[in-house]
Every structure is written in C-alpha cells, then in structure tokens.
Chains A and B, each alone.
Chain A
C-alpha cells in the first residue's frame, strides 16, 4: 500500500478550476517531483496537501489517515518555501527550535535536536546569526533544517532552489537529495526546472493545466513523452507536424513526431542532405540549427574538438535513427 495516496482531488477558485481529478500514489521514502510550467497548479496542489489551501473535493491519505479535515498544525508535514519564510526576528537556532517550542519539547532535548539538525545541513557554526546576515543558500538550508527538526512524515519543497544562483542551486540540490536518502523521508518537490526534476527524483509527475499528464521515472519521461506538451517541456525535442515529418523522413507519417536533438547523427557520407543555419555552444555540447528538406531541426553533438566544428552555411548529412522518431499525440 502506498504511503501517500491522493484520490480525485480537485480545487477551483470561483469558477476557474486550478486542478481537477488528481490521483497519485507515493511510496514511503520516495522522492517525487511535480514538474510543470508556472500556473499549472503544482504549487496549489502542494499547498492543499499541506493544508494551507482548502480543497473542493477528494481525499489525501497519509499513512492511511485522511488529511483533508485536519488543520496544517495537525498534519505532521514539513514545508520549505521559495521565499525561505525564515522568521527575521529570530536567530538561526531560534528559527529551527520554533517547531519544537510549539510542540513543547523539553529544552534539553530541544537544544540537542536543534544542534543535530544544524550539523546535518552543515550550519552548526552559524546558529547565532540572524537571517539577514545569511546568504540565500544558507537561508534555504536553515529553512530545511527548521522543517526537518520536527520529524515530519512528509516533506514538501515548493521551488526551494528557484531564488538561488546556479552554482549554489546545484550544490544545495545534491545536499537535499543526500539528506532525504539519509532520513528515508518521503518528499514532494515542486519545480519548473526539468534539469532539477530529472537529476533528483525517483519519480516525476508532469503537470499541465491542472492535470497530471505523465508520470514515471526520469528515463521514461525523457525518452518516451506521451504527447506534444511532454515532449516540448522535457528536453529540447524537435516537434514536427505530419507534413514536415513526412517530407523529412521521406515516408508517410500520420501524426506529430518528436525527435530528440542528440539522437540525430551528423558527419557521415550518407543520409539526408542538410545545411547548417546557425550554431551555439552549450559547453560540452554544440547545438546546430540545420535545415533539411525545408524543415528546420536542432541537432546536438558532443563538443570534442574545434576541428570538428561546422561553420554556418556548410553542407552536411544527417542520419535519423528510426527508433528515435517518436509519434506523439
């Protein structure tokens, strides 16, 4: 039986539905990501699970107990916000201890647990600082410590990395994953960043316009998108309509197809004739914009050496593996 089970959950503001008929099952200790563009309802779903926003129907079962009638205080859920939401009038230590104070944990026990959790997020030496004396990354680690110290049954992370710069984001996301595995904590993570979702999650729920479009592990989502939205949101798929696809592949195609840029091979003597229209360097990968049979495509190749670089306007040949061509709804 699953640990967290969401059944037929729906939410609307006035007549506008935010999400409807959400069903999902999450196992204990699983790290699940809700991925989707802004406005798809993922954050509202998270707030509903936390009890911060009321739902209009459906059930949320955590360990067999229906959470819907419970206040946020009684749900035993920890949450980290994009804005950190640290209490500015309290030191790091007081922030972390707040939840334990509310639970009336004895001061001795409380101090020990605060110390332990601050060590866990590697902030032991900053215990006496105020939030305004910390960097963004440190603030978010304090927020994480604050939500972990009460030993929640479920941890919710609402875009916790979005306000941070790239380097810190990468580091913190590894730290979050390490702690989550160490504590075996069931975690729901909300993000609009596909890279975060793909690297962190055991499983991903892809959301669009208030519905779960596809769910599965990173590999499944990346290689087998179920529809054009999924293909467009994850990776940098080349999405072609039936006409263009038929022309490019020189065979009749019935629907839209998606082709991953890195599945197209270039540089051989055989294949479809094409011309380079432009290129951009993405570090270890070079992304070419090429035109073949009147269809524009993105092609990613590994950046091995400067000698291999094709100049703009240069002619080349493309090899498109039939297995990499995916028909999408």
Chain B
C-alpha cells in the first residue's frame, strides 16, 4: 500500500470515490436483484431467486426483433457516418482548413435544437411528399447520423490534428504515392483510434435513444427503447430483466471495444 493511502486525506479521497461509486451502483444493483427475484413486495429481501424473467425475455420474439432492429438502425447510422464523415474530414483538413471553423458551428446544431423540436420539423418534412420516410427505419438512420455527427467530427478532428496531416501527405506524395494511396495507406490507419472511440461512444448513445425513435417511427419499427416503453405496464421483474440485459450488452460491447483498441499502437 502506498503512503498516500493511509494519510487522513487519502482515506477521505477514497471514501468519497467509493461512496460515489456505491450511490451510482445502487439503483443498478437493485434492478439486477429485482430482475432475479421470484417476487419482492412486502419483504426487505426477495422471497426467492429465479432466472425465469430472463428466460421469458430472451424467448420473446418481439423483444428479439426490437433488439435486432435497434442494432440495424445503429449500425446503419454509424456506417453512413463513417462513409460520409471520413472523406469530409479529410477534404476539410487537407484542402480547405479554413472550413473547420464553419464545420465546428455546423456540428453544434444537433445540440442546439432539442430532439422534441427537431422531430416535429422532421415529421413535417418527411411525413409526405417524395421523401415520405416517417415510420420507416430510414428516417431514423438519417436522423441518428446527425446525432452522431458532433461526436464523430470532434474525435476525428482531434486525431487529425495530432498526426500532422500535411507533412504526412507531403512525405507520401514525394515518395511516389498518389493522394488516394496516401489517404488510404498513411492517413486512414492513423485515424483508426479516433474513429473507433467515436463509433463506440455514438453506438452506446444511439442504442439507448428514445425520443426520435418514438416520435418518428414508434411501434411501426420498434427499437429496444420503444419496446421498453410499450412494455411499461407488464411485470416489473420482466422490465428489470430487460434493462439489465440492455445495460450488460452495452457494457460488454464497450469493454470489447476498449480491448480491441488497446493492443495496437
């Protein structure tokens, strides 16, 4: 044990950190316990433990479909983001560095307009006419793209600033590489870290998104959060199992992502 741990200040600091951790963990632990309880109403502790809620959940076809549909929408939005934002970032930072200021304002827009307000606008725009997409997953993919944009742009922009883009491109050009070869062989591999971090961050965020999903699509293409909302009148044990499953999935996903990211330089 290091010296800092046994001083009064050290003890105090540790107490604060662990206390905070405990407070944050408590609701989750309660939910976990509730999802494992046979029945828990008039007693301090549950009457018995069971896995039946999880079995019921994971054999519910509607849940499985919602889970799959959430994945489709999230991966669709993230794939669209990657395909659009990466080349955009490259062009902005390499050819038009002055546009970076404009881009920084642009990417703030999704934060400036609350989801409830922008979904009203989106409903107007895409409710009818040639681009009638309301009620389909396509509108969610497009909408989630704008939500993910700030995270993606910032993370990749930081990454780009750290690698000295211009000198790398110049060096590659002088060694005989075309701009495409330089971008694919030299720049892209060095953006992997920023890209991965922003993708995982956006994924965990989008996977739990409710407002847009509910207002723009609702039950016509049920995502996980909408499903949870629609099931709010069913058994609390069942819903707890759903929340814990959801949380556990995101946790495992994030952990795996971190592991994947750590190995290479």
Of the listed residues B170, B185, B192, the one surrounded by the most CB atoms of chain A closer than 10 A to its CB is B170
Distance A278 CA – B175 CA, assembled complex (angstroms): 53
Q: Is the CB of A85 within 8 A of B176?
A: no
**B-chain residues with CB within 8 Å of residue A50 when the two chains form the complex:** 170, 174
Q: Which of B126-134, B145-153, B160-168, B206-214 lies at the interface with chain A?
A: B160-168
* Among listed A98-106, A169-177, A223-231, interface-contacting one: A98-106
The verdict on A98 contacting B265 (CB below 8 Å), with A81-B171, A85-B170, A87-B168 known, is no
Total interface residues in chain B, CB < 8 Å: 20
Which bracket fits the contact residues of A?
Answer: 20 to 34
Q: A85-B164, A130-B265 are in contact. Are A79 and B190 (CB under 8 A)?
A: no
When distances are taken between beta carbons in the complex, the residues of chain A under 8 Å from B163 are 88
Flag whether A146 is at the interface (Cβ < 8 A): yes
Q: Is the CB of A52 within 8 A of B173?
A: yes
Question: Within 8 Å CB of A102, what residues of B?
Answer: 175-177, 181
**A116-145 interface (Cβ within 8 A of B):** 130, 132, 143
A194: CB under 8 A from chain B?
A: no
Chain A hits for B178, CB < 8 A: 73
Tell me if A147 is interfacial: C-beta within 8 Å of chain B. yes
Q: Is the CB of A85 within 8 A of B167?
A: yes
| B167 & A132 in contact (Cβ 8 Å cutoff) | no
| B189 part of interface (Cβ distance < 8 Å) | yes
A73 lies within 8 A of B177 (CB): yes
Q: Does B32 contact A (CB under 8 A)?
A: no
* Cα–Cα, bound, A47→B163 (Å): 20
Residues of A at the B interface (CB closer than 8 Å) are 47, 50-52, 71-73, 75, 77-79, 81, 83, 85-89, 98-99, 102-103, 130, 132, 143, 146-147, 150
- Having A83-B164, A89-B189, one finds 15 other A-B pairs with CB under 8 Å, namely A51-B174, A71-B173, A72-B170, A72-B174, A77-B174, A79-B171, A81-B171, A85-B170, A87-B171, A88-B163, A89-B190, A98-B177, A99-B175, A132-B265, A147-B174
Residues on B facing A (Cβ under 8 Å): 163-164, 167-168, 170-178, 181, 185-186, 189-190, 192, 265
